[in-house]
Amino acid sequence: MSYRLRMLVERLGGQLFGNAEIEVSGIAPLDTADASHVTFLSNSKLRASAAQTKASALILSPADDGELQHAYGGARIVTDNPYAYFARVAQLFAEQSAIPVQRGIHPAASVHPDAQVDPSASIGPHVTVEAGARIAAGAVVDAGSFVGREAVVGEGTHFHANVSFHAGCQIGRNGIVHSGAVIGADGFGFAKEKGAWVKIPQTGRVIIGDDVEIGANTTIDRGALSDTVIEDGVKLDNQIQIGHNCHIGAHTAMAGCVGVAGSAKIGKYCTFGGAAMVLGHLTIADNVHISSGSMVSRSILEPGQYTGFYPLAKNADWEKTAAIVRNLGTMREKIRELEKTIKTLTQEK
C-alpha cells in the first residue's frame, strides 16, 4: 500500500510544500531512496546528500528547509523533529506487512489451570505459564517463553520467543520484550562466612511500567528484599545487565552492553552509550547523558554530558601515557620541591 503525501501530513502533522498528491510506498535513507520513497534529514551535516537524493519527498527541520528549499527539487515535509517523524512514517509502512497475531492459547503451550489468560491474548507454542500468572488483554507471548507464577503481563505487551519472566514480576501495557531476555532471575547476593559464600535469598520482584522495550538477552535481576523498578517508557537495548534493587527512571534509554550494578538509582530522561558501566549504590540525576564505554564510579547530582575514558591511541603510545599517569604523584612532589627551591633562591637574591 502506498500513501499520498497529504495523507501522511493529515495523520502525522507537519507542513507540506510541493505536490500533495505524490504517492510513496516506503521510506529509505538519503543515498538509496528512489522516486517511490520518502526520506529524511536529521543531521544537518548531510545537507549535501539531501540535495542530491532521488526521493520524491524529504522530511526535514525548518532550519534545514531554509537551506535546501531551492537545492532539492522534490516535495518537503517540514517538522521540528524529523527523526521522530521518520519513525512514525516507518511505523505506518511496517503495519502494512505485519503478520496478524493469532489470538488464544496454542495447543502446544502449557498453561496452568489457575493462570488467568485474557481471551484476546496470544500464547504461542511451547510457552509455559505457571499458576497464578495473569496475562492481560491483547498480550502476545511467542514460542518457548516462560511466565512464572503470580506474574502479571499488561494489555498489548509482546513477549518474543524464549523470554523468561519469573515469578511475581510485573510488566505494564504495550511493552516489548525481545528473545532471550530474562526478567526476575536472582540477583548476585552473597555473604562471606569462613571463606565460603552464603546465598542471600532474592525475594523482591521486578516491576516494569508501561511502554517499556527490553532488548534480546538483556537481564533484569529481581530485588533482594525490595523490588527492582523500571519506570514507564524506558528503552533497553540488547545484552544489558540491570542488577538487583536498581531503580531506572522514566524514559531513560540505554544502548547495548550497558551494565548497572545493584541498588543504583538512575533518574528520568537519561541516556547511556554502549558498554557504559555504573557501579552499585550510586545516584544519577535526571537528564544525565553518559558517553559510550564510560565508567560511572561516583554519584552524579547535576544534569549534563559525562565522559570517563582515555582517547583511543596506538598501544605503544597508550603504554607511555599509562606510565606517566602512574607516576603523576611522584612528579607532583618533585615539582613542589622545585617550586620551594626556586622561591628560596629568588628571596636570597
Contact 244, 265 (CB under 8 A): no
Output the CA angle 156-157-158, nearest 5 degrees. 115
**Using CA of residue 281, residue 202, residue 276, residue 247, what is the dihedral sign?**
negative
| H-only helix segments in 69-111 | 82-97
> In the beta sheet, which residues pair with residue 177?
159, 214
For cell 516462560, name the residue: 146
Q: Letter for the amino acid at 101?
A: V
Helix (H) or strand (E) holding 274: none
Set of cell numbers at residue 130: 505457571
Quick one: which of 200, 222, 287 has its CA closest to 252?
287
> Is 244 assigned a catalytic role?
yes
Q: Which among 200, 158, 201 is positioned nearest to 181, based on CA atoms?
A: 158
Pairing of the two strands 253-254 and 110-111: unpaired
Q: How far apart are CA 239 and CA 275, in angstroms?
A: 10
Question: Which residue is catalytic, options 37, 160, 178, 244?
Answer: 244
Instruction: Give the angle 115-219-237 at the CA atoms, nearest 5°.
Output: 115
Instruction: Tell the burial category of 286 from Cβ atoms under 10 Å away from its Cβ (0-12, 13-18, 19+).
Output: middle
Give the residue from 280, 246, 289, 251 showing the smallest Cα distance to 266.
246
Q: What are the catalytic residues? A: 244
